[in-house]
């Protein structure tokens, strides 16, 4: 779909991890690619959402979202590779504060604009046209869909208000259409 953020390939994802200079930047990207969270949701995560009182990475990430006038919570299981990245990053942050602290921000944590600049630099280094911070979310959700995860499950993870909103968001690969046609056995 024209104007939507690029879906990243497995090779591109690996390359981005290699060009991101710090553990913080790698965790920022890993959370996006393994949870499908929006960049604004990522930068506002607290260490309490990620780490237990003992400092261990939680198995479930609880994300608080506002839907119309209600607050809802989405539980997102933590992928093993994300768990490893977070565990490696644990010593770089103080418990009880923001996961991505920033003294340059009035909020106390990285802003969406700061995260955008960090990730855009990596995308540009890789020469990835149409890649943006939203590419992480679209890539995560589209790959779940391509793997056959039920749309209702993806909706629970993504926080989309409706299935039609989610479906408009997912990319369809020409190879997916070819495979679908080739499944016909009559």
**pLDDT tens-digit series, residues 87-124:** 999 999 988 899 999 988 888 899 999 999 999 999 99
pLDDT for 58 equals 96
Residue 29: count of CB within 10 angstroms of its CB:
23
CATH of domain 10-137: 1.10.443.10
3-state secondary structure of 86: helix
Place of tokens 């604004």: 40
pTM of the predicted model over 0.85: yes
pLDDT for 89 equals 96
> What does the pLDDT look like over 54-96, one tens digit per residue?
999 999 999 987 766 677 778 999 999 999 999 999 999 988 8
Taking the domains of the chain in order of start, what are their residue ranges?
10-137
């Amino acid at each position: 779909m024209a104007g939507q953020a690029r879906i990243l390939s497995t090779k591109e994802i690996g390359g981005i991890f290699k060009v991101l200079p710090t553990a913080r930047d790698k965790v920022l990207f890993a959370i996006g690619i393994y949870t499908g969270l929006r960049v604004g949701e990522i930068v506002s995560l607290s260490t309490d959402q990620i780490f237990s009182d003992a400092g261990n990475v939680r198995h479930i990430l609880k994300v608080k979202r506002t839907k119309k006038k209600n607050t809802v919570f989405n539980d997102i299981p933590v992928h093993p590779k994300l768990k490893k990245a977070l565990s490696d990053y644990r010593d770089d942050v103080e418990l009880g504060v923001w996961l991505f602290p920033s003294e340059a921000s009035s909020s106390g944590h990285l802003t969406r604009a700061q995260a955008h600049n960090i990730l855009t630099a990596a995308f540009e280094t890789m020469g990835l046209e149409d890649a943006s911070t939203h590419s992480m979310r679209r890539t995560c959700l589209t790959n779940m869909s391509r793997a056959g995860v039920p749309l209702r499950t993806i909706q629970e993870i993504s926080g989309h208000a409706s299935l039609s909103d989610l479906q408009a968001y997912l990319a369809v690969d020409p190879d997916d259409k070819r495979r679908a046609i080739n499944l016909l056995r009559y």
